[in-house]
A and B are shown apart, each in its own frame.
Chain A
Amino acid sequence: MTTIDTTKPTPGAETPPVDNYLTHSSGIMSWLGTLDHKRIGVMYLVSILTAFFLGGMFAMLVRLELMFPGEQILSQDQYNMAFTLHGVIMVFLVIIPSVPASLGNFVLPIMLGAKDVAFPRLNLFSYYLWVTGAVLAVSTVFFGGVDTGWTLYVPYSTTGTEMNGILLLTFAVFVLGFSSIFTGINFIVTIHRLRPPGMTWFRMPLFLWAIYATGILQVMATPVIGITVALLAVERLFGIGIFDPALGGDPVLFQHFFWFYSHPAVYIMILPGMGIISELISVHSHKHIFGYKFIAFSSVAIAIFSFIVWGHHMFLSGQSPLMNVVFSAITFSVAIPSAVKVFNWLATLYKGSISFNTPMLYALSFLVLFTISGLTGLHLGTLATDIHLHDTYFVVAHFHYTMMGGALIAMIGGIHHWWPKITGRMYSEFLGRTACGLIFVGFNLTFFTQFMLGSKGMPRRYHDYDGPNWTPEATELFGTYHFWSSIGSFVMAAGFFLIAFYLLHSLFRGKKAPANPWGGRSLEWQCASPPPHDNFSEPPHVGDPYDFTVLEWDEQEQGYHWRHDLKHEPGEA
């Protein structure tokens, strides 16, 4: 039994020259060769945000092109390459690794009270695999580009002229897949073997459950995309028809293989985001999470379901009608665990003492946007309506609401939530809330209009909507929607640049962050901000990660700490 020493200042608060992971060693090599999970997490964060910037720029090109009828700034071929690279970068380089590799790497071991992940060297190796894959993927621009869409569907990918681009990209996807598998294994084993005494599976923060479920998906699904792109490369190199119908191959086989990975990959993207939302909602409502076990198990249920719904991407591919019905029915059932989460989050908010901090605003945005994405998913999962909506902007809007409104908004919320922990600085709350508002408004303006575009019949991937093949009414109607969609994307871009500005500004001018600015109860809030090299100088207090009654606000410190009157027994809930 330990009594908290009330006279002792919180580490890092009043004794300035304290050693932390940022100051532990210096020089570029101490970063590039580091085995410290925190530094690797920061390197991932910087790299992934760079890729996000790049992918965003390609999106702006696409939006500028579509803003008005007629060719604007890109030729047809350039347009195809721009949206392909936007997709490839955002999916493979940004959203799939975003939360686990950056925030997960930083937070996961600290949440477990551990010194590092189970295999620090493997962790660094994963990072360099990611870098290699990223360089390869982006370098396709210099080798003729890729214009197949990120899905690499055959026969586009087997018959085009941009041979080298496709080969490079398949190799990049292969390498990125390995990075993803190794990260997944690392986190699974870390969660299995490095939980501190007293932290049972059901006392883990829900973020860790989400990362665990994601890890299982990464390990089990990624090999399939590996073999798929390997076969694609073989086909391309030797001209042998595996998938290409002109050579006697089966293009639907490619789609089956591709979606067997890429549907679970959707959940590799969204599950960690959901994990973040569980943390944000509970911490910023200062209220115990509602339905802990339901949220935890729904992550696992979603992971399992995700393996048996891939056929819903292929309703119009000539798949048998029976398969379509089965896949449609299973797809609907994914709504159950997803809704379980949403309702539990709502119940957590109910009668909570909600602080509308920037991270919380992102969590609330997530709730709205993710719900819209889930509900529009039903239209696409229904066979009859999907025939109308397939390959229209409705699909584009739906998955942007999921991937961006869900996964990415959660990640940005997570960055704001853990920014004080990562950097030891507070950002400007006012600018933070402003940027969140800009992004929320811009996002909806961009993508809600695309729901309408899609239901009116605007096909996706089209370079233009003017000319003899379009009626003047269609051109005018689509033109209006596309115009406002583009305006929305500029608003959103302004929001992201604002974020970049105030976060960078906070590094130099931000207030020093206390150890626990939000009142979080999980273990990462018990070490200093930024954490010391070994994370914890003394073992942290393990307990119920959502029991906020043990904390109280300290005006002087501008943060939370343990209640003075509390005697604490380690391991006690």
Chain B
Amino acid sequence: MADSAGSSPFAKHEAQVSAGTLGLWFFLAALTILFGASVLGYWVIRLGAGRDAALDLPALPRGLWFSTALLLASSGAMHWALTSIRNNRSGQLQLGLLATTGLGLAFLGVQTRCWVQWAAPLAAALSQSQTRFLLTGFYVLTGMHALHVIGGLIPLTIVTLRAACGRYSPSYYPGVRYCAMYWYFLDGVWLVLFATLLLGT
């Protein structure tokens, strides 16, 4: 859904942007199904493992609370960027986007640290039947989310660069808008995943 040049079938920019927004909504709907199915699968396995399975599991890494805070802050920065361009403050737009990207990267860093921290208990637990549960519950869910964060950082970087070149105006900022929608969505997904993991262990 790149900003379109000569190839657009729409006569007006507004129509193209509105179509892009609609398309992104459908894409987010597809991702909702993806994460929804993962969480559902997690619960099927979790409940199948029995009520007491949680006792054998090591506690979740503390770092997850920190990464949650980082991701929330990142969404806050994204929101700041969005309101800035709406009010024609392009300097603050650039700052906001930079902060979003930076906080997103920091989130990934903390997640990586958590994965490494949990590798030891995982190795210890590999002989037990709960292993599959550790793996799906923690590594698959957080890993899939992290992949989507990486997938979001790429267009976010492009938009940040474009903002630095002064490509956006209060009447035309589709890239910022798409990134914001996607970023809020990832934030929401993370909260659900985190809650799932907390409840499950």
Residues of A within 8 A of B (CB): 35, 109, 114-122, 181, 184-186, 188-189, 192-194, 219-224, 226-228, 230-231, 234, 238, 240-242, 247-250, 253, 257, 260
Contact = CB atoms under 8 A, between A and B. Distances in A.
Contacts of B37: 223-224, 227-228, 257, 260
Contacts of B4: 120-121
Contact of B33 (A223, A240, A241): A223
B161 interface: no
A241 B9 CA distance: 49
B162 interface: no
Interface residues of B, number: 33
B169 interface: no
Contacts, number: 107
Nearest to A225: B37
30 contacts: A35-B7, A117-B9, A118-B10, A119-B1, A120-B4, A120-B9, A121-B7, A184-B26, A185-B26, A185-B27, A188-B22, A188-B26, A189-B26, A193-B19, A194-B10, A194-B19, A219-B30, A220-B29, A220-B33, A223-B30, A224-B33, A227-B37, A227-B144, A230-B144, A241-B129, A241-B132, A248-B129, A250-B45, A250-B48, A257-B41
Given A181-B27, A231-B136, 7 more contacts: A120-B8, A121-B2, A185-B27, A188-B22, A226-B34, A241-B132, A249-B132
A122 B48 contact: no
Nearest to A248: B129
Interface string B142-173: 00100000000000000000000000000000
For the residues of B in contact with A, the DSSP-based class is helix
B140 A223 contact: no
B1 A122 contact: yes
Interface of B: 1-2, 4, 7-10, 15, 18-20, 22-23, 26-27, 29-31, 33-34, 37-38, 41, 44-45, 48, 129, 131-132, 135-136, 140, 144
Contacts of B7: 35, 116, 120-121
> Which of A188, A226, A227, A230 is packed against the most chain B CB atoms within 10 Å?
A227
Nearest to A124: B7
A257 B41 CA distance: 9
Contacts of A253: 41, 44-45
Nearest to B126: A240
Contacts of A119: 1, 19-20, 23
A115 B48 CA distance: 53
A193 B131 contact: no
Contact of A193 (B2, B22, B30, B33): B22
Nearest to A250: B48
For the residues of A in contact with B, the DSSP-based class is helix
A25 to B, nearest CB: 13
Contacts of A116: 7-9
B29 A189 contact: no
Nearest to A238: B135
Given A185-B26, A250-B48, A223 B2 contact: no
A433 B104 CA distance: 62
Contact of A118 (B23, B131, B132, B136): B23
A121 B33 CA distance: 25
B135 A240 contact: yes
Contacts of B30: 181, 185, 219-220, 222-223
Contact of B9 (A194, A223, A226, A250): A194
B12 to A, nearest CB: 11
B9 A118 contact: yes
Given A116-B7, A193-B15, A250-B44, A185 B132 contact: no
B9 A189 contact: no
A253 B47 CA distance: 13
Contacts of A185: 23, 26-27, 30
B172 to A, nearest CB: 18
A223 B31 contact: yes
Nearest to B18: A193
Contacts of B27: 181, 185, 219
Nearest to A254: B41
A192 B15 CA distance: 11
A35 B7 CA distance: 7
Contacts of B20: 119
Contact of B22 (A189, A222, A240): A189
Nearest to B6: A35
> Which of B9, B18, B33, B41 is packed against the most chain A CB atoms within 10 Å?
B9
Nearest to B11: A115
Contacts of B29: 219-220
- Interchain residue pairs A-B with the least CB separation, the first 10: A223-B34, A116-B9, A115-B9, A248-B129, A223-B33, A193-B19, A189-B23, A35-B7, A118-B19, A185-B26
